[in-house]
Structure 1
């Protein structure tokens, strides 16, 4: 059951119904937008007819061009705040990939924050910051909320020149980069959601675009990212839903992506010193450019748009589940593992901490508000906790499992 705005209770819809409803709403919105465009086009054609042929034709074309430009203006009204990049520049460069990426992550940030706020009594704090050497970011954070103990949805849009150390690290993965101090642009969205209830999984995702110009004037670009889930108690239906949602997003662009990126995720989010995975995986990829600039962007956009349907139904499903001291204790121990991975293995965290003048608040926003470590902790045999640990010790193909 879930509380509505007027305090009444309602049945929680299943994943299928929720997904279908979202699809129906999306179809309606697209249909309405199409009708609006057709109506405005008819109005403009009427104006052109009224102005007449010859000299009036040029005026008509001017009206049509002005109206089209107005319709194509960048709409920032539904974002959490104004974009990092100046609005006029975004308008002038709306076909540039840098602009497309910034506007996309701004929308994903706003959509997710508003969706999560519908569950919590607290609202996101919006912290817009600037980087001295170029660009900035927008950090949206709920801390110590009723449903979310800590939830961070962060975007950064930065530019400048790469340090020699950063270039060396990139050359280890991309040997075709030439130069010692290269202009770069990076835009990305990153989020970690730590719910208060141990019945709701922790969720992480990150999608990013990187662009540099080498000494020969050649532009190098690539995308990276992924989504992964860290439950404290295993819900098989949740695991299947999460992976199948990601698989649908991948399959729209290349059926080879999901198995490849799932395998990459399983390998990446592995805590070697514990010999266990951080969670039940998801997808992870980096240095991706195989579909061309626009095609790869569309793939990343599909993955980012899968964030809400892949995770929010789990919040809705478990938000009123009961739990006690034992479950909370286990959650804090598992969060300790989360901290270990982020500080010891995570590439983004290590890169950020090693970067001069890095914004530490943003880098460490992924860490939970509370975690615990115990000496020689033991798990009760045949318990729910052991069930989870058995899953974290192996790799499972959740999307291929029969319902």
Structure 2
């Protein structure tokens, strides 16, 4: 039985790929990924809008690139609940520049030296910066790559993850967040959560400061086993876990009391967020290396406001100091046992 025609009214905008082409290629992984990320973007944007004042909505910006493909950038700014919320999808194709090839090779992918290779990439990425310091920031990104490294050979893989960056530590929030992700992982492989939680702790580190960006989550890259379909199903489960992992925390804390001191601390921690994204984040680097890069969309992850204060070291016994202790020593939130960090 053929699947029902695609209903574009459920999305934030018209898909990047022509709808007739998507309908004709429903079994192709490129189509499956584009439709999945379009759905995730729309569901997440609408869930966030439901927490905001009625007059505050996402700006929807659909864009195309001459090199092939494009994206849909959804941004909500200056809301009462969300100071800045960005939810992007991109579906791009073209040839891979040597800088991006070198970056991929450093992660174990092996391509021919000095060649420009045809590629396809599709992904959804979001960063939510709430106004209230008691509401944590969330980031997630799920993506699919294909690289044609010979006339008959295509290398493919998935990557992504979801992580939480609180400004004040609430252990129940961290446990809820991690348990939701573990439940999604366990549907597919009981070893995934421990492995990808450790990888997340290892990846989201501001190395020059010796501290984690937040309380972690899951992170993985170069996922190409056991099969393409099983990898896709796993990534879909992870993406579907974002709303139940985060929205309860927004509802719980969005009206919590805070003052000037808490706001200044939030802005300082956002400065750390900026440092990680601009210095270490692979997705940011890949985007900036890609021909026809759309810098406004790539940098939508940066907060509307941030602060850098010289030699700021909080009292270890303060609420800020308690958070810093966790950022310097990642915890096993669910008691699943310590694991070696992923390569």
Could you say whether these structures have the same fold, taking a TM-score greater than 0.5 normalized by the shorter chain as the test? yes
Aligned residue number for residue 231 of structure 1: 166
Aligned residue number for residue 105 of structure 1: 37
* Structure with max Cα Rg: 1
Write the distance in 1 (CA, Å) between the matches of 2:310 and 2:102. 39
Query: Do structure 1's residue 187 and structure 2's residue 122 form an aligned pair?
Result: yes
Aligned residue number for residue 168 of structure 1: 102
Aligned residue number for residue 178 of structure 2: 243
Write the distance in 2 (CA, Å) between the matches of 1:401 and 1:199. 27
Write the mapping of 1:320-359 to structure 2, written as runs, cut at 5 A: 320-359=255-294
Q: Is the 8 A contact 2:67 2:291 kept in 1?
A: no
Write the mapping of 1:2-401 to structure 2, written as runs, cut at 5 A: 68-69=1-2, 72-121=4-53, 122-178=56-112, 180-400=115-335
Q: Is the 8 A contact 1:240 1:401 kept in 2?
A: no
Equivalenced residues, count: 334
Write the distance in 2 (CA, Å) between the matches of 1:382 and 1:78. 49
1:344-400 Cα offsets, whole Å, 9 max, x none, are 111111222233431000111000000001112231341111111111110211122
1:253-306 Cα offsets, whole Å, 9 max, x none, are 011111111111001001111111010000000000112000000000000000
Write the distance in 1 (CA, Å) between the matches of 2:185 and 2:298. 28
Aligned residue number for residue 8 of structure 1: none
1:292-323 Cα offsets, whole Å, 9 max, x none, are 00000000000000000000100000011010
Write the distance in 2 (CA, Å) between the matches of 1:357 and 1:105. 21
C-alpha RMSD of matched pairs (Å):
1.5
More helix, by proportion: 1
Q: Is the 8 A contact 1:247 1:399 kept in 2?
A: no
Gaps of 5+ in 2: 338-343
* Per-residue deviation, 1:203: 0.4
Q: Is the 8 A contact 1:178 1:216 kept in 2?
A: no
Q: Is the 8 A contact 2:97 2:291 kept in 1?
A: no
Write the distance in 1 (CA, Å) between the matches of 2:316 and 2:178. 28
Moved more, 369-378 or 259-268: 369-378
TM-score in terms of structure 1 length? 0.81
Instruction: Classify 1:296/1:382 alpha carbon distance in 2 versus 1 (closer, same or farther; 3 Å).
Output: same
TM-score in terms of structure 2 length? 0.94
Gaps of 5+ in 1: 1-67
